[in-house]
Structure 1
Amino acid sequence: MELVLLVILVAVSFAGGAVVTSVGPGGIFVVAALYGFTALPAAVVAGTSSVTFIGGSVLGAAGYVYSDDMDWGMALLIGIGGAVGTQLGVLLNGAVSRRSFGVLLGVLLGTVGATILLRERGDLDRLPTEALDVAPTSGAGVVVFGTIGLLVGAAGGLFGIGGAALVPPALVVVGVSMITALAVTQVAVVFIASASAVSYTLQGSVAVPLVFAIAAGYLLGALGGWRVAKRVDPDRLTTALGVLLIGSMPVLVYRSLLL
């Protein structure tokens, strides 16, 4: 791999880690960069990305545990469900072409971008969620949070995204506060990314030399990159993130269709 390309991938990973710890989902940029800037097969893109996200999620989970915002019952239900759903996602990854992977990833980018903008406007918080509010210890809670984990895990296994972009809006819809949703997401990503990483590693679908470089960039971004991000108005930064994701959708879809 050319040095310039490696530097770009590490820089994107650093930025992704900084975004994760400051305003929202950033790992999805790592997946998009690996797909868009390299010729790696879809399985290697997903596998390499999955390994990358484990360390940052462990750090994020530790931070929310320290601040006493973690709901362990909910986190474990979603995490275990996600680990199971991941296996379905890995199977789906093997069934789609690289072109289809790119188109689906582009659609996901746009969906996540729209969700970020809705959350920034407060529209998610205004949803009538009271009737759906369930406790993790109830039978309904096991079904609801386990199902969320299964679905997010399937997406995580397919794309190697970990689930940080999908868990918070899903939890807000069922009445979970945003701070708890963000805390639970960190544990869920540890489960989902680890399960994906193991599956793809066993397939030989992890770019070992590359993963060390981008994982280091992502971890450094998660540790200290947020200080750079905090120098910008967080509202503007979040809005810019959403717009960038939405704008990336047609580019990625168009590029994929040209393959």
Structure 2
Amino acid sequence: MEIELLFVLAAVAFVGGVVVTSVGPGGIFVLAALYVGTSLSEAQVAGTASATFVGGALLGALVYVRSGDMDWPLAVTVGLGGVIGTRLGVWLNVLVSRRLFGVLLGLLLGLVGLVVLFYERRNVEPFVRFNSTTRTGLAGLGVIGLAVGTAGGLFGIGGAALVPPALVLVGVPLVPALAATQVVVAFISSAATVSYLARGTVVAPLVFVVGGSYLLGVVGGWRVAHRVDAARLTVVLGLTLLGLAPILVFRALAI
């Protein structure tokens, strides 16, 4: 692999790390870069991306624990649901071609971008509230984890693109949602990595290069989350995701 491409992947990973602890959907940029910039199979893309996110998620969780923002019942419940869903997602990955993988990934980017912009612009109130102190709330949070884990296992996104919007939708404040996301991503990415390692589809050299840059970005992202206008950053993120979506779909269809 060319050294220039490694630098590009590292740069994208750094930006993704910043985004993942400041707004949420950052790892999806790493996933898109691996798909567009390399000739890796869909399983290698998902496996390598999953392994990349483990360290960043653990570091992100530690940062939020130290700041006192972590809601452990919330995080663990969604995370355990995510582990179960991950197994299903990894199984589904075997059934999709590289072309279909790219199309679905592009559609996912567009969907996440729309959701991010919709809730930022409309300031929509949650249509239901799941409280981590009640059994009903925990059950609902577990279902969210199951759905996110399935997508995480299929694509290798870890869940950071989906967990914050889903939790805000059910009444969780943004910063606790971002904090819980780190734990959920650690659960989902670890489970996915183990599964893809068993299939021999984790490219270790890329994990070290991309993962190191991602870790640096994670630390910077926590600072951004507490110092920068989140609304403005969220709008930029949503527009970026919408811009990337058709590019990914067209590239996949050209294969």
Q: TM-score, normalised by structure 2?
A: 0.93
Structure-to-structure mapping, 1:55-66, within 5 angstroms: 55-66=55-66
Structure 1 stretch 44-53 or stretch 111-120: which is displaced more?
111-120
1:85 — aligned with what? 85
Aligned pair count reads 255
SS at match of 2:94: helix
2:46 corresponds to? 46
The alpha-carbon deviation at position 24 of structure 1 amounts to 3.1
What is the CA distance between 1:143 and its match in structure 2?
A: 2.0
- Could you tell me whether the CA contact under 8 Å between 1:50 and 1:193 is conserved in 2? yes
CA RMSD of aligned residues (A): 2.1
Q: Does 1:218 align with 2:214?
A: yes
Contact 2:22 2:178 in 1 (8 A): no
Give the match for residue 202 of structure 1: 198
2:167 counterpart of 1:133 = no
Q: Tell me the distance in 2 between the aligned counterparts of 1:83 and 1:213.
A: 26
Structure 1 unaligned spans of 5+: none
How far is 1:109 from its partner? 0.5
Percent identity reads 60
Deviates more, 1:164-173 or 1:192-201: 164-173
Q: Does the CA contact (< 8 Å) of 1:45 and 1:160 recur in 2?
A: yes
Verify the 8 A CA contact 1:18 1:229 in the aligned structure 2: no
Q: In structure 2, give the amino acid aligned to 1:217.
A: S
3-state SS, counterpart of residue 108 of structure 1: helix
Distance 1:117 1:46, change over 3 A: same
Deviation at 1:133, TM superposition (A): 2.1
Cα separation, 2, equivalents of 1:148 and 1:20: 19
Is residue 71 of structure 1 aligned with residue 67 of structure 2?
A: no
Residues 1:200 and 1:128: Cα distance change in structure 2 (over 3 Å): closer
State the shift of 1:23 in Å: 3.3
Q: How does 1:1-259 map to 2 (within 5 A)?
A: 1-121=1-121, 123=123, 126-129=124-127, 132-224=128-220, 235-259=231-255
Mark the CA change 1:94 to 1:198 in structure 2 (over 3 Å): closer, same or farther: same
Give the deviation of 1:118 after TM superposition: 2.4
Supply the distance in 1 between the matched residues of 2:67 and 2:229 (Cα, whole angstroms): 24
- CA distance in 2 between partners of 1:40 and 1:238 (Å): 30
The one-letter amino acid of 1:153's match is G
> In structure 1, what is the Cα distance between the partners aligned to 2:55 and 2:208?
11
Please tell me whether the aligned partners of residues 172 and 181 of structure 1 are also in contact (alpha carbons under 8 angstroms).
yes
Is the CA contact (8 Å cut-off) linking 2:109 and 2:241 kept in structure 1?
yes
- When residues 230 and 173 of structure 1 are mapped into structure 2, their CA distance, relative to the original with a 3 A threshold, is closer
Measured after TM superposition, the shift of residue 120 of structure 1 is 2.8
CA distance 1:167–1:232, shift in 2 (3 Å)? closer
1:57 CA drift (Å): 1.1
Between the aligned partners of 1:226 and 1:63, the Cα distance in structure 2 is 7
Contact 2:126/2:168 (<8 A) preserved: no
Closer/same/farther in 2, CA of residues 237 and 85 from structure 1, 3 Å limit: same
CA distance in 1, matches of 2:194, 2:92: 16
Query: Structure 2, unaligned stretches of length 5 or more?
Result: none
Task: Give the direction of change, closer, same or farther, for the CA distance of 1:228–1:190 in structure 2 (3 Å limit).
Answer: closer
In the aligned structure 2, how far is the partner of 1:211 from the partner of 1:20? Answer: 17
CA distance in 2 between partners of 1:3 and 1:175 (Å) = 45
